[in-house]
Chain A
Amino acid sequence: MTMPDSFDPFRSDKPLILYIDFKSPYAYLAKDPAYAIEEQFGIEIDWRPLTLDIPSYLGSARLDATGKVAESNRTPQQWSGVKYAYRDARRYASLRNLTLRGTTKIWDSSLAGLGMEWAKAQGRAILRGYIDRVYDRFWKRELDIEDPHVVEAVLAESGAGLAGFTEYCNGEGRVRHDARQLQIFEAGVFGVPSFIVDGELFFGREHLPRVRWLLSGKRGAPPDVAYRHFEAERAL
């Protein structure tokens, strides 16, 4: 398995970069709208993992089996923000019949990110199959994304070859992932979903109208942020 050596957080041979993390509900909500962009413009997105270090900026917490907070170092303000974010993501998810069950801890999603890089190298269909399965099952609490055997099984189910995957995760892939995460953060990409078009960063799916406007060659007036519906998006 060979992968490109050069890496620039803001540049790609694809017209659009999208950073996602499987443990982010907002990134999950951006997945299908991003597919729609690929289809509308006939492009491939450069999907990249961004493994969030949530405790560094939002504190950390762990729930017990009953859903009560067992450990936490969050401030009241951080709790307000986290609770609102989940409520907000869940209400939009429910309208698309997506299940978002609150996580019981802050997961290390780096292995799932390595799996995504592995799937990406094997083609778009395999990548989509992997992304869809991981998001759907993780947010139903049906997937332990820290378990290498579980990630391998999802890759296999998505049609990916697995020869060398374990070595990749324990060697080259892990080293590259960790180095890139530092590069991405140092370059100023701090959250997901983050879209990069023409070297410009857009954090959040509310920027999809602007992303589309840029991809269409800036036709018409520049749009404002909005969570629009699919048809309104395509009409831009």
Chain B
Amino acid sequence: MSEATDETLPSLIGDAPAVCVDFKNPKSYLALRPTFALEDELGMTFDWWPVQVSAMSRPQPEQRNEDRGTRHRRIRALYYERDLRRYANVYGLELGDFYRNPDVAVASIGLLWVKQRAPRSLRAYLHAVFERYWQERLRLDDANAIDALLQEIGVDTSRFREHAQGDGRTNYDSLVNGLRAAGIFDVPAYVVEGEIFFGRQHLPMVRWLLTGRRGEPPI
């Protein structure tokens, strides 16, 4: 556990245990409940950050004479869709179309807004945005809808839309570009003790690290 990740990460997101999510990515949505559960168990709140990763690629129809690499990518993509849906069933989550690729900036700026101005509403915001987007009831690029959602959970939205088009957007673009350059290319990304872990399967490791490495390590 000694290999350091990109040294620019602390300057971007600090040293606190962090979680990076992308609202349009179903793996982020599936990680929500187990990550909240770990926060509750440990009595702490992770530092949640929005990132932008590549949208999932819709599997192409099988082609006659497709090469092995193309076939590999297609069957891998089909597998991942099946896999995400079977685990969504574990949590009773609806997963709409996986392959939408909306501009997530406004919803992500909303996350930063809540963190700064109403941190107690952070979980409600994450929950509402993910659930409604994945039930195909919310457009992530609709500033009015995000503004309304913020108000619904009790967050003051005075000047939110101006912020989302001005300084908020500038800061957000800088953040996501910086995080991508620092090695955050997948989600959910957990950053603990300077190490990046992609995927909720690492939550036992995150717990083990944050509880002082006591007991048997995860396998």
* CB contact between A96 and one of B75, B90, B219 (< 8 Å): that residue: B219
In the assembled complex, A5 has its CB within 8 A of some CB on chain B: no
Nearest B residue to A222, CB-CB? B90
Nearest A residue to B213, CB-CB? A95
Stretch among B111-119, B141-149, B166-174, B194-202 lining the A interface: B194-202
In the assembled complex, B36 has its CB within 8 A of some CB on chain A: no
Residues of chain A in range 201-229 having any CB-CB distance to chain B below 8 Å: 201-206, 221-229
Which of the four size classes fits the interface of chain A? 35 or more
**Interchain nearest-CB distance for A78 vs B (Å):** 11
CA distance A92 to B3 in the complex (A): 12
CA distance A105 to B114 in the complex (A): 48
**Interchain nearest-CB distance for B68 vs A (Å):** 4
CA distance A53 to B71 in the complex (A): 12
CA distance A147 to B216 in the complex (A): 38
A87 and B3 contacting across the interface, CB-CB below 8 Å:
yes
In the assembled complex, B183 has its CB within 8 A of some CB on chain A: yes
B90 and A95 contacting across the interface, CB-CB below 8 Å:
no
A227 and B202 contacting across the interface, CB-CB below 8 Å:
yes
- Given contacts A228-B219, A230-B216, is CB(A191)–CB(B200) below 8 Å? no
B197 and A88 contacting across the interface, CB-CB below 8 Å:
yes
B87 and A188 contacting across the interface, CB-CB below 8 Å:
no
Which residues in A have their C-beta under 8 angstroms from that of B195? 91
Which residues in B have their C-beta under 8 angstroms from that of A148? none
Which residues in B have their C-beta under 8 angstroms from that of A88? 197-198
Which residues in B have their C-beta under 8 angstroms from that of A231? 216
A227 and B218 contacting across the interface, CB-CB below 8 Å:
yes
In the assembled complex, A10 has its CB within 8 A of some CB on chain B: no
Which residues in A have their C-beta under 8 angstroms from that of B201? 204, 206, 225-227
**Interchain nearest-CB distance for B55 vs A (Å):** 14
**Interchain nearest-CB distance for A55 vs B (Å):** 8
Chain A 62-102, CB within 8 Å of chain B: the 1/0 string?
A: 00000000000000010011001001101110111000000
B78 and A188 contacting across the interface, CB-CB below 8 Å:
yes
Most buried by A among B78, B87, B216, B219: B219
**Interchain nearest-CB distance for B19 vs A (Å):** 16
- Given contacts A80-B183, A190-B76, is CB(A225)–CB(B87) below 8 Å? yes
CA distance A154 to B202 in the complex (A): 35
CA distance A84 to B2 in the complex (A): 14
Most buried by B among A87, A227, A231: A227
In the assembled complex, B100 has its CB within 8 A of some CB on chain A: no
B69 and A229 contacting across the interface, CB-CB below 8 Å:
no
CA distance A226 to B215 in the complex (A): 17
Which residues in B have their C-beta under 8 angstroms from that of A6? none
CA distance A3 to B68 in the complex (A): 28
B67 and A203 contacting across the interface, CB-CB below 8 Å:
no
B75 and A190 contacting across the interface, CB-CB below 8 Å:
yes
Residues on B lying within 8 angstroms of A by beta carbon are: 1-3, 30, 34, 67-69, 71-73, 75-76, 78-79, 83, 87, 89-91, 183, 185-186, 195-205, 208, 215-219
Offer 29 A-B interface pairs, CB within 8 angstroms, sorted by A. Answer: A33-B219, A53-B68, A53-B72, A57-B68, A57-B72, A57-B73, A88-B197, A91-B195, A92-B218, A94-B2, A185-B68, A185-B71, A191-B76, A201-B79, A202-B83, A205-B219, A221-B90, A224-B87, A224-B91, A224-B200, A226-B200, A226-B201, A226-B203, A226-B204, A227-B202, A227-B204, A227-B205, A227-B219, A229-B217
